[in-house]
Amino acid sequence: MKPLDDQQQAARDWFESLRDRICAAFEAIEREAGSDASFEYTPWDRTDESGEPGGGGVRGQMTGKVFEKVGVNVSTVGGTFSDEFASSIPGAEEDPSFFATGISLVAHMANPHVPAVHMNTRFLTTTKRWFGGGADLNPAIPYEEDTDAFHARLRAACAAHDPTFYPRFSKWAEEYFWLPHRQVARGVGGIFYDRLEGHFDEHFAFTRDVGEAFLDIFPQIVRKRMDTPFTDEDLERLLEFRGRYVEFNLLYDRGTLFGLKTGGNIDAILMSLPPVAKWK
């Protein structure tokens, strides 16, 4: 993989530092619950389409009392896209060279009253450069106040940069996190954005604020719900909801497709899948 330029290195450093802070926050919640669970980190290397070294990443995963399964992965990869995949990536049609760095997080919770969550932010370069990502809440048992708090925090992060961001990106999340074969949403939304290009400093600042917003609000929601009593019926509802989550990630998720098409680490790509799910 080619040496990183200043923008690429800055983005990589941010995603790795955010990973460290998120993992520390989640481990702190486990300690509050009387658990000594900690993240286990597994580095991986990638071979590019060309056969040359193509970067890699670190897969972080924890199984605990509150977090039944949580993965927080960072990766920095580069090389050349396959001819088939290059045609679908902006700026790669004529030159298939690429670079990508990012953080990807999915948390599946032991208590059905605590929502699952997804967060991903990334920086990609081809002949173009852009940021993308977002965060969305996925409760099996929705609480309106949790949904409102989650959206309010993301709305504030957006408003600090552009008044059009939240209306645009929350609508994009509604449309993106949708299972067309079932005609249902995957969760209660959040924001989703992609291909923010042309203004590195401004869009990098926004992407950092999305990470900060997630780190602020999600632990608050977890602490609020993690000791809520639940029934066998609640657990069944959780397991069936997870089945819908699996369907979306395997059929429609762009990150899953990107990882598989670029030779990513299979365990890291599929860490988004829950440990147990049901279909009826």
DSSP state of 2: P
Which residue, 147, 135, 209, 124, is CA-closest to 173?
Answer: 135
Q: 96 exposed, middle or buried (CB, 10 Å; 0-12, 13-18, 19+)?
A: buried
The values of phi and psi at residue 138, to 5°, are -135, 75
Amino acid at 185: A
Q: Is 113 a catalytic residue?
A: no
Strand, coil or helix: what is 126? coil
Catalytic entry in 118, 151, 181, 203:
118
Q: 30 exposed, middle or buried (CB, 10 Å; 0-12, 13-18, 19+)?
A: buried
Which residue, 39, 76, 41, 26, is CA-closest to 215?
Answer: 26
Strands (E), 81-165: 97-109, 116-125, 129-138
C-alpha dihedral sign at 44, 46, 47, 53: negative
Strands (E), 111-257: 116-125, 129-138, 178-179, 184-185, 189-197
C-alpha dihedral sign at 84, 191, 204, 115: negative
- For the annotated catalytic residues, the residue numbers are 118
